Amino acid sequence: MTLKLGFIGTGGVAKAHIANLAAIEGAEITAFCDLQLERAEAAAREWSDAKAYSAIVDMLDDRKLDAAFVCLPPMAHGEAERALIERGIPFMVEKPLGVDNELPRQLAAQIAEKGLITSVGYQWRYIQSLDEAKQFLDSSRIGMSLGCWLGSMPKVPWWRVQHLSGGQFVEQTTHITDLLRYLCGEVIEVYAAYGHRIMHELEEGTDVADVGTVTMKLANGSVATISNTCLIPAGHQTGLNVYTDQGVLEVKANGSRVIRTKEDASAHFAITQNPRLFEDTSFLDAVRTGDQSLIKSSYADSLKTHEVTVAANMSAATGKPVKL
Ligand SMILES: NC(=O)c1ccc[n+]([C@@H]2O[C@H](COP(=O)([O-])OP(=O)(O)OC[C@H]3O[C@@H](n4cnc5c(N)ncnc54)[C@H](O)[C@@H]3O)[C@@H](O)[C@H]2O)c1
């Protein structure tokens, strides 16, 4: 069965999903919406029966869609999700779910009421070797985890403004927080220290922190620290290490490995070339079958990750630990 798909937001990450969908049989994009109409038009030219729109409701009233991809910046959520929920259209939405908790909590309740299929763009969960990694963790005792996202500041202008993006921990390092929850379970308390070291002097209008460290307690008794910076000139390291009594699990953006002995330390990563392709295929399979369990990251589950990152912002602002 061919699925008719629509895009809301046709910027950087939309392009990655569109490239995947072009390679998936039975996926046809028939509608693109972007506030910048010329972007939607450029995307629509690549698909034989696609139309471009600058208003979400116009698109949804004009085209009958089986599912939609919501690829909007953090501050732009709300209208798209509400319109899709109202019409019962399953959707894949990019992380983060918003800049604070209020809107995502409202939307999660409406999604649950409708029983709508949803997927959220935490593609690290689709690294294939993570299934094995989970088995390893099931037979180990987790002590602690160390995660990081150490890179440069993304170029999109909204990213550097706190009330538009939520800042690096909410916008970007949410991937590592989600991975921690996926592998090690729920976070019950966070304490964060952030700093504004350099980037606000370099780029006018920048008010996001450019360094930060978040310490967490988990329900299973383990502890974790996740640090991030966006002030270095190029990407350095991104990933999560989990330290257990059976060895160390190392996860990077496209693969993972377990180090049990000194010899294992030289072993290669089990690589997944394109976790996002696996994510997109799983979403379409779930839409076709109505089986939400094919998706590794639902809206309801992602809300918990989002709440941890917002709690980190609250802790950094108040200087106090926040319980979840
Ligand atoms: N999963 C990942 O690894 C990953 C990677 C990159 C980006 N992202 C996420 O994807 C989201 C979008 O990022 P991006 O890099 O594509 O941003 P972008 O700025 O390149 O693209 C966003 C697009 O949305 C459009 N837009 C904004 N408000 C709109 C509205 N109300 N209606 C219609 N269109 C609207 C903009 O005009 C723009 O074209 C962000 O939340 C980001 O965190 C996720």
Convert the pLDDT of each residue in 144-200 to its tens digit.
999 999 999 999 999 999 999 999 999 999 999 999 999 999 999 999 999 999 999
Taking the centre of ligand 1 as the mean of its atom positions, its distance from the CA of residue 11, in whole angstroms, is: 5
**Rounded to whole angstroms, what are the CA distances from 4 to 35, 37, 89, 228?**
21, 20, 11, 39
Q: Which residues contact 19 (CB under 8 A, 6 or more apart)?
A: none
The answer to whether residues 295 and 285 touch, using CB atoms and an 8 Å cutoff, is no
For ligand 1, whether the C-beta of 104 sits within 6 Å is no
What is the average pLDDT across 233-247?
96
Per-residue confidence at 270, pLDDT binned at 50, 70, 90? Answer: confident
pLDDT in the model for residue 273:
78
pLDDT in the model for residue 159:
98
pLDDT in the model for residue 303:
98
In the predicted model, is pLDDT for residue 62 greater than 90?
Answer: yes
Indicate the residue type of 273: Q
Nearest-CA residue for ligand 1 atom 40 is 73
pLDDT in the model for residue 272:
76
In the predicted model, is pLDDT for residue 295 greater than 90?
Answer: yes
Give me the CATH topology for the region 127-272+306-323.
Dihydrodipicolinate Reductase; domain 2 (3.30.360)
What is the average pLDDT across 222-243?
97
Average pLDDT, the chain: 96
207 phi/psi in degrees, rounded to 5? -130, 10
The answer to whether residues 242 and 248 touch, using CB atoms and an 8 Å cutoff, is yes
Taking the centre of ligand 1 as the mean of its atom positions, its distance from the CA of residue 49, in whole angstroms, is: 23
Per-residue confidence at 140, pLDDT binned at 50, 70, 90? Answer: very high
Domain extent listing, the chain: 3-123+277-298, 127-272+306-323
What is the average pLDDT across 263-290?
88
Residue 200: both structure tokens together: 């606000």
For ligand 1, whether the C-beta of 30 sits within 6 Å is no
For ligand 1, whether the C-beta of 164 sits within 6 Å is no
Give me the CATH topology for the region 3-123+277-298.
Rossmann fold (3.40.50)
pLDDT in the model for residue 42:
98
In the predicted model, is pLDDT for residue 92 greater than 80?
Answer: yes
In the predicted model, is pLDDT for residue 129 greater than 80?
Answer: yes
pLDDT in the model for residue 261:
83
Nearest-CA residue for ligand 1 atom 8 is 13
For ligand 1, whether the C-beta of 74 sits within 6 Å is yes
For ligand 1, whether the C-beta of 166 sits within 6 Å is no
For ligand 1, whether the C-beta of 125 sits within 6 Å is no
One fold for 3-123+277-298 and 127-272+306-323: no
pLDDT in the model for residue 263:
80
In the predicted model, is pLDDT for residue 304 greater than 90?
Answer: yes
Q: Which residues contact 235 (CB under 8 A, 6 or more apart)?
A: 150, 151, 152
pLDDT in the model for residue 1:
87
Which pLDDT tens digit goes with each residue over 106-116? 999 999 999 99
pLDDT in the model for residue 254:
84
Taking the centre of ligand 1 as the mean of its atom positions, its distance from the CA of residue 319, in whole angstroms, is: 31
pLDDT in the model for residue 271:
78
For ligand 1, whether the C-beta of 36 sits within 6 Å is yes
